Structure 1
Amino acid sequence: MKNSLSKWLFFLFILFFSYSNAQEISSIEKIAAYGYSKRFSDSSASKKIQLQALELAKKKKKIDDEVICYSYLALTQRRLLHLKEFTSYADTAYILAQRTNKIRVKAFASLAQGSLRSYIDDKPQALDHLLKAYKLFSKAKAHDQCAKIASDISYLFSPASPEKVKKYSREALQHAAKANDSESQLYARLAFGGYLTDRLDQGFKEEWIIALNFFKETVAYAERYNHNIISKSTIGIAYINLADLYSKGPKPIDESAMLENLEKATKIAQQYNVKIIYRSAIGLQGMYYIEKGDFAKAELLFIEGIKYQKSLPYTDNYLLATFYNSLKEVAVKRKDYEAYYSYDTLYSKYNQLKYNESTQKLLQNADARYESSKKIERIKQLELENELEQQNKLLGYGIAGVLLIGLVFMFRSYYFRQRYYLKREEILKQEQANSELKVQLMEKETIENLAARLSLERRLLRSQMDPHFIFNALGNIQSMILQKDTIPAVSYLNKFAKLTRQILEQSRKETISLEEEISTLKNYIELQQLRLNNSFEYHIVCDESVEDGILIPPLLIQPFIENAVEHGLKPKPKEEKGLLQLNFTQQTDQKNLICVIKDNGIGLAASRKLKIKENHQSLSTTITDERLDKMQKEHPFAGFQVLERESENGETGCIVIINIPIL
């Protein structure tokens, strides 16, 4: 009887200990988690269910459940790429979490904040928040969350810290095994597979077979538990990683296995609209066919990818630019320069759109970092005020206790109390002043960063002015080498190298001298002469009114020279000699340099008809016009005109008049 009673007491003790350490999951959290699980299959229903859970938490005034609902909503917005809503939900969860001491609640808030910081490329803050969330979820024994967070931490440390990548990817596997959850298992296996792939990239080629077997097991696991895995993108990533590993293996590679995995990844990407998987699958297949020498199949693959992308209700400029760039490479391999020119035009179009989207995203991320930092600063101030409030309460209790002991200590207690308040008030005022100063410094730093970014945009704008000429020049050099025209090829290459060096040096400067600009133009025109078999001549004349040593913005004139050569002189019949004339005059009172460019080409009307037939859209004058528009705030006369040339002897051609501000 005594032994039986002891066993029951021991059993009750174990039950009580387990209950006190376990983190109870509320019914509202279960509703929010269910809504989050539908983010891939039905995003609209997912948001609706989570918002219903949030409203229920607010109605019942349960802050803990509110924090978890906001966290799930933030993670869902990341999946939908909605930065504004993502930031709002994540910051709200983090602010509300300061009112509670529940481990699981604080863990969710840190997870949402870490995910946000990772999304806006703030890696140090992302690691801080995710490590905090990992520690808290470990205390709560939430092994499924720990597996995913440890995996994300390993990705953030890759490839700079191989030991930490290994540590957290292994811990992810351990937590996933304890969670006994298919999705957590796959997530952790992908993280550890990433560590094995990093090892191969670091030179440990002998470990290829280990990595291959591990990825085979991972893909088999994903296929076996496909219905239990909510995040279908992870299955697609597993296929991509295995296919990529086959491509890195010893030759000859297992072609059928690689292509089979890429086809499976492509189907998942199309079914669940996962852009990065689709881009990687098509890209790997295309690169394989290019290396194999099957250029026709590679070209059809990229064209099929473009057709599929254009059939969707949205436009992914990054994806289209990538595919057209790959088609250019195929055209070079096939020596089909006409196709290369066509693909290059479309690549330039989507690459510019991609660049605009990328710049906009950088600005949005910077704004999000700034706004979130201000909120965090406010949170710290509120935490300090709460801490002071708690200290004041404790102090009040202490004083009440002292008063109960006796009237003897009353005066002394009162004196020290008043002294304490005065001191804390001074500290609080000082800390408040410091916080305001930090906000002012942050605003100033943001303005300076914005100015620097705008300056960078201008430099990038200039650096993209002439990709068409560079690609044509390289194509011509390649053609000469293939035709064994060694001497012209070497001459062409020397001139091209000199011109490239001049453009790179000048693109980093805000101003250059007119002598430098003319030197660059001469080199560029002579290179065009060499490319077009000296089918035209040129003259550059500086008027006596032009002062020595004047400074102008770099690379403004060259795009118009390119247009004159490409669209005016190049289409001219071979039996007619082309002529290009440049004349510089100075208007001292208006601080303007006037550059007049004349050519005896086919003229504006004929050039436009030719552009329509060739479906070509030049961006050089548009970019130059944007640069001159920016200069008009300080130099109102900046601008250019393009006119049809009128001549009494029947000559055709164009005249371009450029008003360049003297800086």
Structure 2
Amino acid sequence: MLNSKLSLIIGLLFLGICTSAQQRGRKAIDSLEAKLRTAKQDTNRIKILHALGMEYQYDDYKKAINLFDEGIKLSRKLDWRYGLGYCYIGRGEAMSHKADKTGILEYYEKALDIALRIKDKGLEAQAYNNIGTLYSNQGNLVDAMENYLLSFKAAELSKKDNLIATGLLNLGLVNFKQNNFAKAHEYQQQALKIYKKINNYEKVANTLGAIANNYAMEGKPKEAEKYYLQSVKVYQEHGNKIGQAIGLSEMAILYVPDYEKILSYQLKAQKIFEEINPKHYNSMMNLGNIGYTYLNIARDGLAGKTKNPDLPKNKMQLLDLAERDIRKGLGISIQSKSKDWESYFYGTLAEVDEQRGNFKNAYDNFKKYSELNDSLYSQQMKNKIARLEAQREVDLRDKQIELNTLKFKAYKLYFAIAAILLVALIGVFLFRSRLRGLKLKHYLENQEAERRANELKHLNRLCESELKAIRSQMNPHFIFNVLNSIEYYIMDSEPAMAAKLIQKFAGLSRLILENSTQSMVALDKEWKALKLYAELEAMRFNDEFTYSFESNITHSNILLVPPMLVQPLIENAIHHGLRNLKEKNGILRVKLEELEGQLVFTVEDNGVGLEASKSTRKVNPFKEKSIGLESISDRLEMVNNIIENGKAVFHLVENETGGCTAVLKLPKVFAQTTE
């Protein structure tokens, strides 16, 4: 659970920064307060109130809100809509530092309405960006991406460097979420160059942190540490304590599994959060990380073995600390209506209770975790679609830039032609030669565009197929049957069996969700998921059939296979073959071997066979849906379009002695290794 959540932490920390943050410092605040004391009731006073509010919002958001309210009141009195719009933006940003986020969207939408009325592209860009950030922190990437793209379009029209740089950061975020780290780095470096040019230290530090996040997710800890340290240094030089705390919290993840070092960074960050704003959104995330670190120390048997004399020597005391910080974070997540973090905290509490041997509480917390996860599942699918649509918008924008560049070159060419015609006939010859070259280039570009379109079509079909496979594996019927089995063992006073079933179900869920984000996964992880699935099905049906797994592959950790391709074969063998046997003596055999340079999966059962299963399939009460052999064939076709060397083959035959044998042959694909 830790690794999957770390990636979410990085994304949320990056998303949580708004566009209007100003340079802070005691000298700047004193200077502005002196000006405010002598300022008249005019537009200049509104500007001072806004600037002073931006200075206070991180360290004293309540005072900042009062300053923005005064600015709003005076702007209305003077009917100065420009100042009113920016004061609405500022008040919304100040409110974002509270645990309760209610009412923020209302102020951003008021600012957007003013921007559209007065046709101010700068204000429009900031309003759209802050609305996008608000949706992102709620986990709603569908609306977030839409607003980010609108923000960038307005920023380009405004021709303001700071807003264009913010748009570049958001485009980097789109690619970061799609694991396109190279493109994300490109946009982030462009943004960093602009922020250094305009001396915006706040955004320089923020962008350095974003680049570090990129490297951390790429698995490059040394590069990530370098940029984290640069980011924290800039925040320290300008007295931004919240920025320092966020940087320290982010850096901690680089030192897994050195839990003592991780904990030292997390506690330093939390000390700052407690001084400035203990209910800050990033304080909630840091509390969750601290609790999970205590849990890891206790679970790994390190109690009393650490060098830190302040750490408890007793496992139960460590688990008490873990529960304390996790519950603090849970309270903030409930207050801020952050469902994904609420789900994470309940899941972690279930692990704490499991370590204590309190399986009833573990079950209750795990059930809450599962219910919240189910509610988030449809939103995650929408987010995935939104990311694809956002990437399409970015690609269209890049093509438009290329088209504008070609038009500019064409204008230069026409000017050159006119000059050449006035000089001599040889100019005509040179022009025609140049024109032929442009036509060839245009033809080649069209061919390349068609090729890219076909690739995107195949990728979209593959994504849709993978979503169907995920739904098949994690359908509600299967989930609730497993949960009912867990409840049965608990109520029947068999906590050991209940804990075993919880661990296996959690392990299977984690593997499926991890594998679903990639088109190719490690063979050893996929093999482990297949074993867990077969074991859960056997336990679920009271061992009505036996199963065995055989493999002669010794290097499965460096081989890649498409995820969730073999599981439907096992599922069909159980539900349409073995389950229909009158005598419950079913046998399932799954074999993996390397033959003639290919990976061969064989799934064999002694069930009723193909023809007999057709008559019982309509009334089978145990499985309402199956991914189907046709969908498997569709996935193989798409896999063959992606993998160049070798072809994937599948066939299903009926055994002479009863049952069926399914054989799936896949080409060997090796994972790229880094030195």
- More relative contact order in 1 or in 2 (CA 8 Å, sep 6+)? 2
TM-score (norm 2): 0.45
Report the structure number with the largest CA radius of gyration: 1
